[in-house]
Amino acid sequence: MTNADAWSATPPTATLVLADGTVIEGYGLGAIGSAPGEVCFNTAITGYQEILTDPSYAGQIITFTFPHIGNIGANDEDVETVNLASASGVRGAILRADVTAPSNYRAARAFDEWLKARGIIAITGIDTRALTARIRETGMPNAVIAHAPDGKFDIEALKAEAAAWPGLEGMDLAKTVTCGQSFEWDETSWKWNEGYGRQEAPKYHVVVIDYGIKRNILRLLADQGCRVSVLPATATAQDVLSLDPDGVFLSNGPGDPAATGTYAVPTIRAIIDAGLPVFGICLGHQLLGLALGGKTRKMHQGHHGANHPVMDRTTDKVEITSMNHGFAVDADSLPEGVEETHVSLFDKSNCGLRLTGKPVFSVQYHPEASPGPRDSHYLFTRFINLVRERKGDAALPERGAA
């Protein structure tokens, strides 16, 4: 008997209800209950754990276009939220194929058990190709994902909840995923058969403003010889400057940058005025764009996956990148003195900027990968070279540049 035959003989135990009233039935795993969110699609074929624990996905329900998700199980090493026990904010996962037993030597638990522990609802048996095509045509819909082992759902109530959910525009979600208090970070990158290391002799001090930071970003900063101090999203410029940093990093994160910008933009402007090197990623890039006088906009379908080509206009080379964003900086809104440095080769949307004459730059995509290609790791060296220049040290080659 095929999976399709087995599914057809079993009553549905999960449902996805879109805001327009569309009901899509499937089979549930993970947490029991319901959750509203914005439905997006992710085109990566590896790294489902990193994707589901990326705080930038807060408020979203992820459709995986790759059909086989969850089959290698889960472990604690591949979690990207800073707090291993905390939820990332992702509302749910939509899968095509049934999930088999773990088949990887690194697996510590089954995928279903891991989802339950993190409070993530998932639905299988969905025609994810059709759902992805719909999103491409009509945009990312609001929806409610629900899982009930007895198969009993109040569909009308779920339709009303989906229709009433306000969507991500205007939402400040950084406050929901940021750290509760400041902390220090010294863990370095993972090595085969060694695990993660420790930075024991840092030369530079970088302050990170956490809008929803991923662990691998912090590791790559530590790899660059940095002592890393992490502050909450609401940190003021005084909070940052009182630590006497050599550079400041603006992290990734979820939600509408214009909403988060109400408190983040004044802080970023003061840091720039202080003359410190600044590097932003994802939401940090969007907030920097706002701080420099630009505007942001909601995207039709967003960019989510590990196969996005981007041109670095500072080198005229192309790199394959990992992306996760539903908002973008409007390149046409950038004022004089702010240069567009990177551009998406899919839709020409802005993917990077720098402030001429100052050590300030950012990218929209995720150079830390995890998951995804490592083409863009060189950007961390580019940032630290700005720190080195300010300290009077010689620059390092941007190893790994595309």
Task: Please give the positions annotated as active site.
Answer: 282, 366, 368
Q: How many residues does the chain have?
A: 402
Between CA 315 and CA 333 the distance in angstroms is 23
**What letters, b where the CB count within 10 A reaches 16 and e where it falls short, cover 44-80?**
bbebbbbbbbbbbbbbbbbbbbbeebbbbbbeeebbb
Write the CA distances from 193 to 72, 126, 137, 196, 204, integer angstroms. Answer: 18, 37, 45, 10, 28
DSSP state of 366: B
Strand 142-147, strand 60-64: pairing: unpaired
Q: How many CB atoms lie under 10 A from the CB of residue 347?
A: 12
Assign 204 to helix, strand or coil: strand
Between CA 70 and CA 97 the distance in angstroms is 10
Q: Which helix (DSSP H) or strand (DSSP E) does residue 135 occupy? A: helix 128-138
Q: How many CB atoms lie under 10 A from the CB of residue 236?
A: 13
Q: Which backbone phi and psi does 81 adopt, to 5 degrees?
A: -70, 145
Beta-carbon contacts of residue 226 (< 8 Å; ≥ 6 apart): 199, 202, 203, 204, 205, 206, 384
Beta-carbon contacts of residue 137 (< 8 Å; ≥ 6 apart): none
